[in-house]
Structure 1
Amino acid sequence: MLAEEQSHGHAFLALPVLVGLGAVIWFALPTEPATWPLIGALLACATLGLVLRGHHGWKRHAALAVLFLLAGMLLAACENWRMATVMLDQPVTTMVTGVVEMREPSGKGRWRYVLALEKTEMPTLRRQPGRITVISRGKTVFDIGDRISGRARLSPPSGPALPGLVDFAFNSYFDGVGAIGYFYGTPSLADGTVTVSWGQSMERMFFTWRSAIATRIRDTVPGDAGAFAAAIVTDERRAISSETTEALRVSGLAHIVAISGLNMALAAGIFFVGMRSLLALLPGFAQAFPVKKLAAAAALLMATGYYLISGFGVSAERAYIMMAIMLAAVFFDRPSISLRNVALAALVVLVVSPSEILGPSFQMSFAATVALVAGYSAWSRRREKNGDDPPWRPATLKPVFAVGHLIGGVFVTSLIGGLSTAIFSIDHFHRMSTYGLVANLAAMPLVSFIVMPFGLIGMLLMPFGLDGPFLQIMGFGLQGVIVVAKTIAGWGGDVGIGRQPSGFLPVATAGFLVLTLLRTRLHLLGLPLLALAIFLSWRAGHDPPPDFLVSEDGSLAAFLEGAQVNASRARPPGFIYSQWRHALSLPQPTGPVLLDLPTPGNKETASPPIVASVASNLDAETPGSGSLASSVAQAADPAQKIGAPAAAPPSAGARAGRERLKPEELAQTRQAMQKALLENRSETFVCAARSWCVAKSNDGATVAVVEDARFAGTACDVVQVVIAARARFDRCRSGALMINGEALRRTGALEIRFNGKSDPQDWSFIAAMVGADRSWMRHRQYDWRRNIFDPALPEPLQSLSSGAKP
């Protein structure tokens, strides 16, 4: 069977698997391996492969396998060196000036800009990111290429919401974005000439076209249908309402929004068939010229144009490469739909951007493509063996069977696509849509026969101003898709699976690849691996959850008590808690008990209503903006000097713009904390609004979450663990464990297990970011006062690092 696999050329299918595995190993290592030993080992394996080229034994195969593994590792190292993104190290409020590279609407009255950052002032950042993403509110909309300036709140891209979840800083690093934030008010146009290179000029021209096309589509087709249509054509997705986005996700139709292989294949396929049919109407021309190849060339040009106006997104890039390879196969009279073409497309993507192999988009896209192509190949072989028309089938019933084949094809395609991507949906998103098959069966005919054909015609006629009627028909079809999504989302079916163990994805992926890439009975070896993955998932679902959670910015803490979650905030940050809820299958949280206590007078520089408004908007943002909402309360802190020369830090009260507390106020606060711990039930937070919260676990452990840094010292005298993101000291004189903002910046989110004990020395701590030192994490180690990178944990937390994991 191995010889048969090799005779069919399936050894080539192992190349992207080995290269991708090498990239995964490089990214997963806790520290960056030295490059020169990898190059030396690769040259040695290449030499050994040449020496053994006349042999076909296991030695040569092993040498080649190691060669491609090392090639994948070196490609990952090359991409890391090429990007070298400067990441902001701490949240800061500063004046920014930059040139608009990209823009797209981000909800009502808001625009999201990607700026090439030129300078910062008040304070000037010592480690200034090259590109940032900022949100602006207001009626003024800036064009691509404009230089704008304004006061903005910037934050580093957030890390994992819990240990083992997605690190959004990784994605931002390899996207070249070093900070995210929002403007205070509307920025203004800045003076000066914007000079760009030839390449930048071309790129901005394409982005300008993209923005103009998206605006025209939204103006022609109002509402979510227009925003949906603009997303399919230009990949501008943020204008779609959160309600529709959620319905598409729950129903399993979210893949339609992205410019993926489905959209690119439909667009290129419709254009290819249409062009070939038109040329076939000219008999003389069709006999003199290769009509099929001409149609493939025209479809390739159309796909290239589609890609150029798509914003160069990763999913669009991957879809374009795959489609270009399949159309190019027509030029050489090779089959377009084959696993070799899919493998070649995967190799190209891995060479260009190997970091994408860790993302759900790459994994789900290629999983669906591989499964569909493998299924199509198996069906074709069976059809060749059995013949086209069985003798018992009457010729008069051919139309009936044709319709049946069409319906059956849509059903099988949706089933294979849904099952093949379920593995990666469970691992990355911790949930699965049980009605996804029904939704795709209802929606895909609309997409295939209305949305994409009329959208393609509309785009071709847009330069002549004749696109309106066709775009409206496209919007009508998309409105039908939205109705299907909302109807099926109303049935429920969004099943939470929970966070998976570390071995689930590798084992399940190995089983999937064996099952789909091999054509002999050896492919059945994938079934035991998939069964093992299911067992690992089932076993992890029976593990007890942690007792206590802390977000990476200290804005949220929660006790997990059986089927109940007791949070430190009545309205937890939406993005952070949604990550917790899906990863640990948590219910809606129970808020704290609020005390009716007088709040000492504050000298705020931003009014509470404005802060609350900005926070609520940011909570609804996309992944990566989770750390912003929690930093809003720090937004008006002009005394911050992130990246500035070292200076003596002012007192906590002065830095927060608040008056020092009087001794009697501190004494009253201490009594209130002690009384709250004694009189309220365990694992329920008791809070003084915008000041502090205290709680006690069932095991007797006491915890305080301090928002107003003036109460941090008092909390140290009352509880065993103090979580105070704004505290300016890192240890309590009382011996209590202090977890301040600097500590959380190093550790990331925390999971704590009390282990039935009240002494912190007996607890188990797991930190999201401890245990690894990689380029996309190193900004957490930067100390601007000393202008050095210090990987050491704050001393109070060093004893807990043994329980941490990356």
Structure 2
Amino acid sequence: MTGLNDFAFSSYFNGIGANGFAYGTPELLSPSGDNAAGSLLDAADIWLAGLRNSIGDRIRQTLPGDTGAFAAALVTDERRAISKDTTEALRIAGLTHIIAISGLNMALSAGIFYVGLRYLFSLFPGVVQAWPTKKFAAFGALLTVTAYYLISGFGVSAERAFIMMAIMLVAVLFDRPSISLRNVALSAIVILVLSPSQVLGPSFQMSYAATLALVSGYSLWKRRRHRENILPRIRLLSPLLFITRFFGGVMSTSFIGGASTAIFSIEHFHRLATYGLAANLAAMPVVSFIVMPFGMMAMLLMPFGIDGPFWKVTGEGLELVIAIAKTVAGWGGDITFGRQPGWLMPTFIAGFLIMSMLRTRLRHLGLLLLLSSVGVAAFGSGVPKPDLMISEDGILVALRQDDILATNRERPQAFIFEQWQKALVAAEHQPPTMLPTDSRLPQISKTDRHKRLNNEEQKAVRIAMEEALDRTMQGSFACQKGAWCLAMLENGAILVTIENAAYLPAACDTGNIIVTPIRLRLDHCRSGATLITGATLRKTGSIEMVLTSDKPIISAAFNNPQRPWTRHRTYDWRTGKFDAPIAKAPPVLDNSPVSDSDE
């Protein structure tokens, strides 16, 4: 849909030129050439892949079901074995960040190893006094997160978290503050040098928004005025104060992290988990004190074959996390938002940066800008919602009326249709009215792409289309299965979709807008009706229209198909050349009378 994620963008920068599937087992070929360095890297990559698979298999054998799949995902970033219900529950509860190997996992693994090593050194006072044990612990934690990154599969979030943690631990080695805005900025610069395209992705934006907010909040907390308090001196209250501080820290970090990433979640995913604070407050102690410590011990003992008991404890913790996620998901609270105005994101980011980076009272101006921009977006008119949507392959067409989407398919493509529902906040699906088989109509198989209809057959199809208009309401589709669909639009125009080129003459004589997934060489109807084909949509991408009393407002997904990641859309394999791009989406004429020329 126009304005949504373009998967070709990330694929292009990841070096992926195409995707598909294999019919048989792939055969591994030896790398060609005499590039010893390349061969060594390939061998190391293959060895690491085998190690990851072995670790994942070992964990899933010890912990069956979703618990084992969850544990394997925390270590190897392999999430496909987790059931759809559990994944959806974690998403609605706002706990998906636990699955992804990101800053949370890296920080916990590094922190547990760092603190544990320092406590171990503290048992030997002579060593502590003679050697810089703090730096030894930081170096050990650096080796730990490096090993974690190597077996995690080199995911984008893992790479970002590793760079961030490595810079913080190296800062300790050079007696510099580990938690500072400078280190956050330095890690961002390193990532942007390595892969600058990540700045446009939601993962990078949400990760650094949360990190920047947390580091800024930590810095503000350190600069607060200290007041004398007698409660910490009472030993009986020490356990209570520890628990209060821990849960207070979890609550504050969850709130800061959730609030700082909320607008990015709305912008990119059109949704917000409102009960994420409660879910994190219940789940994070389990993850911090059970899952990660025992999981780390299990990984350290896995080479000796005595990791089973520790994985069992880790599994108990993960079962509790899954139970919390399903409980919170049962409360609902997953609010859907439509597409937001284009000015909201940059305005919000400007206010967020002012609020998080300034140290004087001027930072309150950022909060004012942030709240005002969100308020204007919430109570303003918002982005105009389209009345007609056409998918980029021309197969799926939908009409919108309030929160209802009427489609030309009884079972629309779930991946596309669900994105339309979220972006347009349309919950209800209205399937087409399927017309009974008409014996007067010619029978055309799907494989017969070159059949031509004679005048009598064309006339019979036109009559059937006109009769179908009388059997359906405005704003909904009536379809002859496997042949064509039509609908009356709000402005009086007639929309016709066809699945075979044989119906094109009748469709052009009946409708004002004709949509077909077939890549025809024609670009217009002689009747004056607008023709949108698979060839047109390949260059423009998906199309949406806002039907007005004057002329429809048309938007195409790709306004500049000459970008490196979309230029392939203009390639013609017949000539081996790139066609001229379409400057704009095809205009739609008004509902003027159509011809009856038997075209």
Common fold, TM-score beyond 0.5? yes
1:331-354 CA distances to partner (integer Å, 9 max, x unpaired)? 111221111111111111111111
1:484 aligns with 2:324: yes
- Which residue in the other structure is 1:157 paired with? none
Distance 2:261 2:586 in 1: 41
Distance 2:362 2:29 in 1: 66
Distance 2:369 2:30 in 1: 60
Query: In structure 2, do the counterparts of structure 1 residues 275 and 603 end up closer, same or farther at CA, with 3 Å as the change threshold?
Result: same
AA of the residue aligned to 1:562: D
- Which residue in the other structure is 1:704 paired with? 496
- Which residue in the other structure is 1:182 paired with? 21
The alignment's C-alpha RMSD in Å is 2.2
- Which residue in the other structure is 1:733 paired with? 526
> What are the within-5 Å matches in structure 2 for residues 87-98 of structure 1?
none
1:555 aligns with 2:398: no
Distance 2:204 2:324 in 1: 26
Say which SS state the counterpart of residue 519 (structure 1) adopts.
coil
1:298 aligns with 2:298: no
1:430 aligns with 2:270: yes
| Matched length | 579
1:399 aligns with 2:239: yes
Say which SS state the counterpart of residue 589 (structure 1) adopts.
strand
Distance 1:381 1:192 in 2: 60
Larger RCO, structure (CA 8 Å, separation 6 or more): 1
AA of the residue aligned to 2:443: P
Distance 2:180 2:28 in 1: 55
Tell me by how many angstroms 1:663 deviates: 5.3
Is the Cα–Cα contact under 8 Å of residues 568 and 685 in structure 1 kept in the other structure?
yes
- Which residue in the other structure is 1:325 paired with? 167
Query: In structure 2, do the counterparts of structure 1 residues 576 and 540 end up closer, same or farther at CA, with 3 Å as the change threshold?
Result: farther
1:133-178 CA distances to partner (integer Å, 9 max, x unpaired)? xxxxxxxxxxxxxxxxxxxxxxxxxxxxx21111111111111112
Say which SS state the counterpart of residue 179 (structure 1) adopts.
coil
Distance 2:74 2:529 in 1: 54
From 373, 379, 390, the equivalent of 2:229 is: 390
> What are the within-5 Å matches in structure 2 for residues 219-234 of structure 1?
219-234=61-76
Query: In structure 2, do the counterparts of structure 1 residues 716 and 315 end up closer, same or farther at CA, with 3 Å as the change threshold?
Result: same
Query: In structure 2, do the counterparts of structure 1 residues 225 and 392 end up closer, same or farther at CA, with 3 Å as the change threshold?
Result: closer
Tell me by how many angstroms 1:728 deviates: 2.0
- Which residue in the other structure is 1:690 paired with? 482
- Which residue in the other structure is 1:653 paired with? 449
1:362-393 CA distances to partner (integer Å, 9 max, x unpaired)? 111111111111111111111xx315x52466
- Which residue in the other structure is 1:569 paired with? 409
Distance 1:798 1:685 in 2: 23
Tell me by how many angstroms 1:440 deviates: 0.5
Say which SS state the counterpart of residue 470 (structure 2) adopts.
helix
Q: Quick check: 265-274 or 525-534, which moved more?
A: 525-534
1:749 aligns with 2:589: no
Say which SS state the counterpart of residue 417 (structure 1) adopts.
helix
- Which residue in the other structure is 1:30 paired with? none
1:8-63 CA distances to partner (integer Å, 9 max, x unpaired)? xxxxxxxxxxxxxxxxxxxxxxxxxxxxxxxxxxxxxxxxxxxxxxxxxxxxxxxx
1:182-231 CA distances to partner (integer Å, 9 max, x unpaired)? 34xx4134485454622222222222222222222222211112111111
- Which residue in the other structure is 2:2 paired with? 163
Structure 2 spans left out of the alignment, 5+ residues: 33-37, 590-599
- Which residue in the other structure is 1:94 paired with? none
- Which residue in the other structure is 1:207 paired with? 49
Is the Cα–Cα contact under 8 Å of residues 451 and 475 in structure 1 kept in the other structure?
yes
Tell me by how many angstroms 1:252 deviates: 0.8
Is the Cα–Cα contact under 8 Å of residues 342 and 369 in structure 1 kept in the other structure?
yes
Tell me by how many angstroms 1:516 deviates: 0.6
From 74, 83, 90, the equivalent of 1:241 is: 83
Distance 2:199 2:376 in 1: 23
Tell me by how many angstroms 1:180 deviates: 2.2
Is the Cα–Cα contact under 8 Å of residues 446 and 500 in structure 2 kept in the other structure?
no
Query: In structure 2, do the counterparts of structure 1 residues 800 and 567 end up closer, same or farther at CA, with 3 Å as the change threshold?
Result: closer
1:680 aligns with 2:454: no
Tell me by how many angstroms 1:667 deviates: 3.4
> What are the within-5 Å matches in structure 2 for residues 795-806 of structure 1?
799=587
Is the Cα–Cα contact under 8 Å of residues 501 and 536 in structure 1 kept in the other structure?
no
1:383-428 CA distances to partner (integer Å, 9 max, x unpaired)? xx315x5246652323322221112111111111111111211111
- Which residue in the other structure is 2:129 paired with? 287
Sequence identity percentage: 51
From 348, 354, 358, the equivalent of 1:514 is: 354
Distance 1:713 1:235 in 2: 53
Query: In structure 2, do the counterparts of structure 1 residues 461 and 666 end up closer, same or farther at CA, with 3 Å as the change threshold?
Result: farther
From 701, 711, 715, the equivalent of 2:507 is: 715
Distance 2:326 2:145 in 1: 31
Is the Cα–Cα contact under 8 Å of residues 293 and 331 in structure 1 kept in the other structure?
yes
Say which SS state the counterpart of residue 241 (structure 2) adopts.
helix
AA of the residue aligned to 1:341: N
Is the Cα–Cα contact under 8 Å of residues 351 and 366 in structure 2 kept in the other structure?
yes
Tell me by how many angstroms 1:601 deviates: 5.3
Is the Cα–Cα contact under 8 Å of residues 503 and 536 in structure 1 kept in the other structure?
no
Tell me by how many angstroms 1:588 deviates: 2.2
- Which residue in the other structure is 1:14 paired with? none
Distance 1:771 1:800 in 2: 20
AA of the residue aligned to 1:169: A
1:579-604 CA distances to partner (integer Å, 9 max, x unpaired)? 11111111121100001216825375
Distance 1:746 1:512 in 2: 37
- Which residue in the other structure is 2:573 paired with? 784
Say which SS state the counterpart of residue 514 (structure 1) adopts.
helix
Tell me by how many angstroms 1:293 deviates: 0.9
> What are the within-5 Å matches in structure 2 for residues 110-509 of structure 1?
162-183=1-22, 186-190=23-27, 193-195=30-32, 197-382=39-224, 385-387=225-227, 389-391=228-230, 394-396=233-235, 397-509=237-349
Tell me by how many angstroms 1:694 deviates: 0.6
1:448-483 CA distances to partner (integer Å, 9 max, x unpaired)? 111111111111112222222222221221111111
Say which SS state the counterpart of residue 362 (structure 2) adopts.
helix
Query: In structure 2, do the counterparts of structure 1 residues 278 and 709 end up closer, same or farther at CA, with 3 Å as the change threshold?
Result: farther
1:767 aligns with 2:591: no
AA of the residue aligned to 1:228: F
- Which residue in the other structure is 2:593 paired with? none
AA of the residue aligned to 2:279: A
Structure 1 spans left out of the alignment, 5+ residues: 1-161, 605-651, 802-806
TM-score w.r.t. the length of structure 1 is: 0.69
Distance 2:65 2:380 in 1: 43
- Which residue in the other structure is 1:66 paired with? none
Distance 2:446 2:330 in 1: 47
Tell me by how many angstroms 1:702 deviates: 0.6
AA of the residue aligned to 1:773: Q
Say which SS state the counterpart of residue 690 (structure 1) adopts.
coil
TM-score w.r.t. the length of structure 2 is: 0.92
Say which SS state the counterpart of residue 562 (structure 2) adopts.
coil
Query: In structure 2, do the counterparts of structure 1 residues 398 and 687 end up closer, same or farther at CA, with 3 Å as the change threshold?
Result: same
Is the Cα–Cα contact under 8 Å of residues 341 and 382 in structure 2 kept in the other structure?
no
Is the Cα–Cα contact under 8 Å of residues 500 and 540 in structure 1 kept in the other structure?
no
AA of the residue aligned to 1:180: N
Query: In structure 2, do the counterparts of structure 1 residues 232 and 665 end up closer, same or farther at CA, with 3 Å as the change threshold?
Result: farther
- Which residue in the other structure is 1:671 paired with? 463
Is the Cα–Cα contact under 8 Å of residues 561 and 569 in structure 2 kept in the other structure?
no
Tell me by how many angstroms 1:670 deviates: 2.2
